[in-house]
Amino acid sequence: MNHPPTIETERLVLRPFQISDAPRVKELAGAYEIYKTTLNIPHPYEDGMAERWISTHAAKFYGGDGVDLAITLKADGLLIGAVGLGASPRHNRAELGYWNGVPYWSNGYCTEAAIAMIRYGFRAMNYHKITCTHMECNPASGRVMQKAGMHKEGTLVDHVIKDGEYHTMIVYGTLKDEEGASTQDHSST
Ligand X SMILES: CC(C)(COP(=O)(O)OP(=O)(O)OC[C@H]1O[C@@H](n2cnc3c(N)ncnc32)[C@H](O)[C@@H]1OP(=O)(O)O)[C@@H](O)C(=O)NCCC(=O)NCCS
Footprint of ligand X (CB under 6 A): 33-34, 37-38, 98-100, 105-111, 134, 138-141, 143-144
Q: Which burial class, exposed, middle or buried, applies to 19 when counting CB atoms under 10 A from its CB (0-12, 13-18, 19+)?
A: exposed
User: Measured from the CB of residue 21, what is the shortest distance to ligand X in angstroms?
Assistant: 16
User: Measured from the CB of residue 99, what is the shortest distance to ligand X in angstroms?
Assistant: 4
Instruction: Give the CA angle between residues 182, 186, 189 to the nearest 5°.
Output: 110
User: Measured from the CB of residue 185, what is the shortest distance to ligand X in angstroms?
Assistant: 14
Residue 54 or 132 with smaller CB distance to ligand X: 132
User: Measured from the CB of residue 131, what is the shortest distance to ligand X in angstroms?
Assistant: 11
Residue 55 or 107 with smaller CB distance to ligand X: 107
Residue 105 or 178 with smaller CB distance to ligand X: 105
Residue 140 or 157 with smaller CB distance to ligand X: 140
Taking the C-alpha atoms of residue 89 and residue 86, their distance in angstroms, rounded to an integer, is: 9
Residues 6+ apart with CB under 8 A from 69: 4, 5, 7, 14, 15, 16, 17, 82, 83, 84, 113, 117
Residue 88 or 138 with smaller CB distance to ligand X: 138
Residue 64 or 98 with smaller CB distance to ligand X: 98
User: Measured from the CB of residue 91, what is the shortest distance to ligand X in angstroms?
Assistant: 20
Taking the C-alpha atoms of residue 165 and residue 188, their distance in angstroms, rounded to an integer, is: 41
What is the number of other CB atoms lying within 10 angstroms of the CB of residue 30?
A: 17
User: Measured from the CB of residue 163, what is the shortest distance to ligand X in angstroms?
Assistant: 15
Q: What is the DSSP letter of 50?
A: H
